[in-house]
Amino acid sequence: MAESTESPSSVMFLLTEQVHGAVSWMDTITKKVSQEIAAGDIGPNLSCRYHPSHFTGQDCTFCYCPFYPCRDQTFGYDVTRENGELVWDCQDCLFIHRHAVAQFVMHEIKDKGLAAGDSRPLQEVLSEAKRRYWHRGRALMVVGATSDAGKSVAVAAICRILHRAGYLVAPFKSQNMSLNSRVTVRGCEISMIQMLQAQAAGLTNADEHMNPILLKPKGDTVSQVMVEGKPFGDYTVEQYYKEFVPGPGREAVKRNLDFLLDRYDMVVMEGAGSPAEINIYDADIANMQAAALADADCLLIVNVEWGGSFAYAIGTIELLSPADRARIKGIILNNVRGDPQKLRGGADELAKRVGIPVVGIVPHLDIDLPNEDSEVFRGRNSRGTGSKRIAVIKLPRIANFTDLDPLSLEDTTVVYVTRPEELAGAGAVIIPGTKNTVGDMHWLEQTGLADAIRGLKEKVPIVGICGGYQMMGRVLHDPHGLEGEGPGDTPGLGLFDSESHWDSYDKRVIRDRGELIDGGGEVEGYEIHMGKTDSREQPLFRITSHGRRDETEGSVRSAQMLFGTYLHGVFDRPAFRTKLMNLINAGGAPAPAAPSKDYAAEVDRNLDRLADGFESALDLSFFRKLLRGEL
Residues engaged in binding other proteins (CB under 8 A): 144-148, 273-274, 276-280, 306-316, 318-319, 342-343, 345-346, 349-350, 353
Least distance to other proteins, CB of residue 346, Å: 3
Active site residue 90: no
CA distances from 90 to 13, 71, 75, 121, 399 (A): 8, 9, 6, 20, 34
Residue 194 or 274 having the CB closest to other proteins:
274
Residue 61 C-alpha from the chain's centroid: 28
Least distance to other proteins, CB of residue 172, Å: 20
**For residues 78 and 293, what is the distance between their CA atoms, to the nearest angstrom?**
25
Strand 328-336 relative to strand 358-363: parallel, antiparallel, unpaired?
parallel
Least distance to other proteins, CB of residue 146, Å: 4
Least distance to other proteins, CB of residue 220, Å: 9
Q: Are 468 and 431 in contact (CB under 8 A)?
A: yes
Residue 316 or 412 having the CB closest to other proteins:
316
Residue of 366, 464, 368, 462 whose CA lies nearest to 408: 368
Question: What count of other Cβ atoms lies within 10 Å of the Cβ of residue 606?
Answer: 17
Residue of 445, 441, 505, 504 whose CA lies nearest to 473: 441
3-class secondary structure, 598: coil
**For residues 363 and 303, what is the distance between their CA atoms, to the nearest angstrom?**
10
| Residue 511 dihedral angles phi and psi, to the nearest 5° | -95, 145
Residue 133 or 306 having the CB closest to other proteins:
306
Least distance to other proteins, CB of residue 173, Å: 15
Kindly name the residue from 70, 466, 477, 529 that is annotated as catalytic. 466
Residue 358 or 463 having the CB closest to other proteins:
358
Residue 203 or 354 having the CB closest to other proteins:
354
**For residues 141 and 294, what is the distance between their CA atoms, to the nearest angstrom?**
9
Kindly name the residue from 54, 477, 529, 568 that is annotated as catalytic. 568
| Start-to-end CA span in the chain (Å) | 47
Residue 184 or 413 having the CB closest to other proteins:
413
Least distance to other proteins, CB of residue 175, Å: 14
Strand 552-553 relative to strand 541-543: parallel, antiparallel, unpaired?
antiparallel
3-class secondary structure, 393: strand
Q: Are 128 and 105 in contact (CB under 8 A)?
A: no
- For the chain, the residue count is 631
Catalytic site positions:
466, 568
